[in-house]
Structure 1
Amino acid sequence: MKRILIIDDEFDIRAVAELALKAVGGWEVSTAASGSEGLEKASAEQPDVILLDVMMPDMDGIATFNALQANPATQSIPVILLTAKVQPADQRRFAELGVRAVITKPFKAMKLATQISSVLG
């Protein structure tokens, strides 16, 4: 079974994504409400992929991604950013980071599992 970790500070986003990924994609889903909680869970659970919100208080998605990359235990886990930032400059910056893909908010819940699977190949 494929395992995904969703890191997003918004409860509603986590709940909708979790429900859609379980129901449509058959994923095993774990969630975290902050970057620091996400780092702990990523290291402990070793998910197949991480869906990471960009805009979060305290530790944002970019800082969380950088911390994941700096940790040998989590640096090989593919990361997909989830963001409402869709300006070309933002997209370029995300691409330069080395994230696997970017999914824009609002996303279509029923297509989320398919989007993630196609990114992973």
Structure 2
Amino acid sequence: MTDLVKVLHVEDDPEILEISGMALTLVGGLDIVQVDRGEKALDVVADFNPQLVLSDMQMPGLTGAETIAAIRKMPQFQNIPCVFMTAKLLDGGESIMTHPQDIGLIPKPFDPMTLADELRALWNSQVQQAA
């Protein structure tokens, strides 16, 4: 099984970006790149080559779903797994998760001490299903 190491994080709220950055790197030991807009994610994704994208849903400009759809148009990222973070779960999240590689939803507020573990659990579940 391949371990989760590299995560691209897309979040427009600077406080959440800072807290989750510490949670994923200092607590979780992950290698991350963080951007505050979907458009910036498109600029950095190819150079960073993440294994997974963690994205907010509601952002100015491209939404989380639009950002992931644009990333998945790149041949090397057609099947990249994505976990969405959102404060607004209207229907339990089913309408957000429209692609087979949309592997999870993390509600806001989240626990910084367990965020990386939650991502790893979702990643491991996805990797096992693909095997």
The answer for the alignment partner of 2:14 in structure 1 is: 11
Q: Normalising by structure 2, report the TM-score.
A: 0.85
1:40-79 matched pairs, under 5 angstroms: 40-79=43-82
Q: Does 1:86 align with 2:65?
A: no
2-11 or 70-79, which moves further after superposition? 70-79
> Which whole-Å CA distance do the structure 2 matches of 1:62 and 1:96 have between them?
9
The answer for the alignment partner of 1:103 in structure 2 is: 106
1:16-55 matched pairs, under 5 angstroms: 16-55=19-58
Instruction: Tell me the percent identity.
Output: 27
> Which whole-Å CA distance do the structure 2 matches of 1:6 and 1:17 have between them?
9
> Which whole-Å CA distance do the structure 1 matches of 2:63 and 2:20 have between them?
19
More helix, by proportion: 1
Unmatched segments (≥5 aa) in structure 2 = 125-131
Give SS of 1:43's match. Answer: helix
1:84-112 CA deviation, whole Å, 9 max, x = no partner?
A: 12121x61212223311111111111110
Q: Normalising by structure 1, report the TM-score.
A: 0.91
Deviation at 1:31, TM superposition (A): 0.5
> Which whole-Å CA distance do the structure 2 matches of 1:36 and 1:111 have between them?
28
> Which whole-Å CA distance do the structure 2 matches of 1:114 and 1:94 have between them?
22
Give SS of 1:4's match. Answer: strand
> Which whole-Å CA distance do the structure 1 matches of 2:16 and 2:115 have between them?
12
Deviation at 1:69, TM superposition (A): 1.6
